[in-house]
Amino acid sequence: MTLADVVKPAAAFDVEALVRSAVRAIPAYTREEAPAEPPRRVVRLDWNESPYGPSPKARAALVNFDGMHRYPDIDAAALREALGRYVGAPAGQVVPGAGLDDVLSTLALAIVEPGDRVVISEPTFGVYRSLFAIHGGEVVNVPLTPGFALDADGVLAAAAERAKLVIICNPNNPTGNLFDPGAVERIAAGVRCLVAIDEAYAEFAGVAHRPLMDRYPNVAVLRTMSKFAGLAGMRVGYGVFPPALMPYLNQVMPAFANVTAASTAAALASLDDLPYLEGIVGRIVAARDALASRLREVPGVEPLPSATNVLLVRLPLADAAPVVAELARRGIFVRQFGRPDLGIVDCLRVSVGTPQENQVFVDELTAVLAEGVGA
């Protein structure tokens, strides 16, 4: 007699019944589809990364790092202290994480219950909608105006009922623009819920919202080391939160803040190398403006104003997807946002690369459009 003779077949395994409905409903956050044939060269301008990588001190810290067999600080004390000094906030108000997604997850664990409203303004960072929906939040979109301005009146109205959180991405991604500071402050002053301002691109914009926290006790600021510090692969994000919220955030923050010892070493070294990084930011901003100027010379192409390290570029086509796919076939990777309701189907988003990478992108885009791809 075999085991199969003894054990009766189980009922059919129903995966759909097992997986939470909120998870089944969200789309995956992925790169654009890879080309069928590997390109002979690869220029990655699709994920808003620094083309220059970490600072010299951060590189040295990683080369010399020998603590892989040890856990990091249980409460990330040294990292929180350094980040607090950098943004001008007490270490006790800083919550680090493995990227800003992780910090947002910690925030959701602390404040969002099923049915609680989270207000966003699209087009914006795509993670907000999926992340808070997974946690049971009712994600309400108050769209940006046709000129990508923040609709303060609409946000105030949407936040008046059951709202736990308003998220404002400023400068905004993927549009790249800065919002009117008066509109941001009106929202902070006019709602009773938390207002989290995601300023992942603050270093490129030269605008910081930390001072708003001194005037409004419901404001939090979110930042990252991925963009200006060239640490996208190390995954170090952080938020500065109101003191009254910190005991609850500390309760749900993962051990070690989910930041590895190596990532901590790189982040600390980066914050000790700010003059170098400030120089890199200056180079990227200059390259961004030069790239925008070159794009304006391409017939029908309109780069939109940007205060970040990316450009949203409007093409003379109804749909930018074929152009983005053809660029990928040629090894030039950029992003396109295909949801018609976002109002940017005719746009691509390109990260600012090195001057050489930017020139390759302009040359290939010019050629693709001249060949009539997507027309």
pLDDT tens over the chain, length 375 residues:
565 565 565 567 788 788 888 787 776 665 666 777 788 889 999 999 999 999 999 999 999 999 999 999 999 999 999 999 999 999 999 999 999 999 999 999 999 999 999 999 999 999 999 999 999 999 999 999 999 999 999 999 999 988 999 999 999 999 999 999 999 999 999 999 999 999 999 999 999 999 999 999 999 999 999 999 999 999 999 999 999 999 999 999 999 999 999 999 999 999 999 999 999 999 999 999 999 999 999 999 999 999 999 999 999 999 999 999 999 999 999 999 989 999 999 999 999 999 999 999 999 999 999 999 877
pTM of the model: 0.92
pLDDT in tens, 72-109: 999 999 999 999 999 999 999 999 999 999 999 999 99
Find residue 220's DSSP bridge partners: 196
Question: Alpha-carbon distance 45 to 296, whole Å?
Answer: 18
H-run or E-run covering 100 = helix 100-111
293-310: per-residue pLDDT in tens? 999 999 999 999 999 999
* Bridge partners, residue 166, by sequence: 119, 195
The continuous run of DSSP H or E covering 289 comes out as helix 274-296
Question: What pLDDT sits at residue 324?
Answer: 97
Phi/psi at 276 (nearest 5 deg)?
-65, -50
Q: Can you list the domains of the chain with their CATH numbers?
A: 22-51+275-370 (3.90.1150.10), 56-272 (3.40.640.10)
Structure tokens that stand for 83 in this block: 């980040």
Query: Residue written as tokens 């690869």?
Result: 42
In whole angstroms, what is the distance from residue 162 CA to residue 67 CA?
46
